[in-house]
């Protein structure tokens, strides 16, 4: 996916920042917070905090069970959130939206339910070298159990998928292709629609890890034509502990349940049970009700701003940040050029460990990530034990990029470089 050139001023960041209470915090006297760890988790606007607070203050009750007033109010708000999320990603029906704890659980659900029911010894799964562990380990576990084959689309030196190798791998007739829509390390925005089309032509199902893409750019599952899409609420202005699995209806209906217990059943006898209809078949037990309502509010908030505007703003930031970071002596930024990526920058500084970079920046109020970012194989691919990562969102500004760059010069001074 190649982005269009965007003019500055696509978002009123001053107004948006006022919606996020934590952004007014000082991490120590006179040092304001500069939050650049959005690929790990995003901050939450008043609208989300208040929606969850309102649930606990006004209509806290279990759902789908009671017929008293507040139980019915809670159920209605929970299902309203499901419907809003379905609209947000273009799902044909709210029944195709399964609430999970996070994208990790969503992918595990597909692996352990669809995978266990449909994959047999010798079957092939194609993944990529840039996957988060959440889209590697579930398939590794399943491959070990079922004697499956795993093959990987290579990452090129400039941080893109080698699609020529992918087409060669498709000749091996895979059963499933799983890939990240946007890399949480390189920021690479993969050409999801084309990958899915080729996978389907080869007879494979597709699982898209949308944890980094759904919060940052317009995603429509019908346009992509994907079979499954996983994402997390906490990376898109929503609360932690709530995620989503979208699935094609015919697959969800045929898949066995993932967890057993209350609400995923229609009938239980001592030696047998009958499953509930989707989506409830995959939502055993009391769910994260407040969190689902909070995620519904987050989606409403993002919709009110517009995902195209958010994408455009982040492209501005990505272009500017890449230009500024590359001027710092000894800094190496990994990943493609700005028109092929989101606003995620993993980088190294010659002679300085990423943990030291992060610690020094923290003294300047700047929150970044340091480590392997749950993508150890990708770091090994580039012969890196770890990287520093700055990641941006709708509330970040060019001034924060400047502050980051100025502070990186301070890192150089501290190390005498």
Q: Would residue 374 show up in a list of annotated catalytic residues for this protein?
A: yes
At residue 189, what are phi and psi to the nearest 5 degrees? -95, 110
Q: CA-CA distance, 75 to 351, in Å (whole number)?
A: 56
Please answer whether residues 346 and 185 qualify as being in contact, where contact means their C-beta atoms are separated by less than 8 angstroms.
yes
d(C-alpha 139, C-alpha 126), whole Å: 10
H or E stretch including 99? strand 97-100
CA distance 227 to 206: 5
Q: Are 38 and 392 in contact (CB under 8 A)?
A: yes
Q: What angle do CA 206, 215, 405 make, to 5 degrees?
A: 120
Angle at 345 between CA 359 and CA 126, to 5 degrees: 120
Element containing residue 332 per DSSP (H, E): strand 331-334
Contact 211, 185 (CB under 8 A): no
CA torsion angle 21 347 382 106 (round to 10): 10
Structure tokens at 308: 């195209």
Look at the block and give the residue holding tokens 């079979």: 227
Please list the alpha-helical segments (H only) found in 171-247: 192-201, 221-224
Which residue shows structure tokens 């699609």?
163
101: left (phi over 0), alpha (psi -120 to 50) or beta: alpha
User: Residue 32: enclosing H or E segment and its boundaries?
Assistant: strand 31-32
Ramachandran assignment for 386, one of left (phi > 0), alpha (psi -120 to 50 degrees), beta (any other): beta
Catalytic residue among 27, 150, 198, 374: 374
Kindly list the catalytic residues.
Answer: 374
């Amino acid at each position: 996916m190649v982005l269009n050139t965007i003019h500055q001023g696509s978002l009123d960041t001053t107004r948006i920042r006022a919606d996020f209470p934590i952004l007014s915090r000082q991490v120590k006297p006179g040092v304001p917070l500069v939050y650049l760890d959005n690929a790990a988790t995003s901050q939450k606007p008043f609208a989300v905090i208040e929606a969850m607070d309102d649930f606990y203050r006004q209509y806290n009750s279990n759902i789908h069970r009671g017929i008293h007033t507040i139980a019915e109010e809670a159920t209605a708000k929970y299902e309203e959130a499901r419907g809003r999320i379905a609209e947000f990603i273009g799902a044909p029906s709210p029944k195709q939206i399964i609430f999970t704890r996070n994208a990790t659980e969503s992918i595990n659900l597909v692996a352990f339910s669809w995978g266990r029911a449909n994959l047999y010894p010798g079957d092939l799964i194609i993944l990529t070298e840039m996957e988060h562990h959440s889209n590697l380990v579930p398939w590794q576990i399943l491959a070990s159990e079922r004697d499956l084959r795993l093959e990987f689309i290579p990452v090129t030196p400039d941080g893109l998928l080698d699609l020529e190798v992918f087409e060669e791998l498709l000749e091996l007739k895979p059963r499933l292709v799983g890939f990240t829509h946007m890399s949480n390390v390189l920021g690479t925005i993969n050409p999801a629609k084309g990958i899915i089309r080729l996978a389907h032509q080869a007879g494979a199902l597709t699982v898209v890890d949308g944890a980094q893409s759904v919060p940052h750019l317009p995603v429509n599952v019908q346009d992509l034509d994907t079979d499954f899409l996983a994402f997390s609420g906490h990376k898109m202005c929503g609360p932690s502990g709530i995620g989503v699995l979208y699935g094609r209806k015919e697959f969800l209906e045929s898949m066995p349940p993932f967890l057993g217990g209350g609400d995923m059943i229609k009938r239980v006898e001592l030696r047998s049970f009958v499953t509930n209809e989707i989506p409830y078949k995959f939502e055993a037990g009391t769910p994260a009700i407040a969190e689902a309502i909070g995620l519904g509010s987050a989606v409403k908030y993002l919709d009110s701003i517009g995902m195209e505007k958010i994408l455009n703003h982040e492209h501005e930031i990505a272009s500017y940040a890449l230009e500024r970071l590359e001027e710092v002596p000894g800094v190496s930024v990994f990943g493609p050029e700005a028109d092929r990526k989101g606003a995620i920058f993993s980088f190294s500084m010659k002679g300085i460990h990423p943990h030291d970079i992060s610690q020094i920046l923290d003294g300047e109020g700047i929150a970044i990530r340091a480590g392997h970012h749950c993508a150890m194989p990708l770091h090994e691919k580039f012969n890196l034990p770890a990287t520093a990562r700055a990641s941006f969102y709708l509330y970040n500004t060019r001034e924060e990029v400047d502050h980051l760059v100025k502070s990186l010069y301070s890192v150089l001074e501290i190390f005498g470089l």
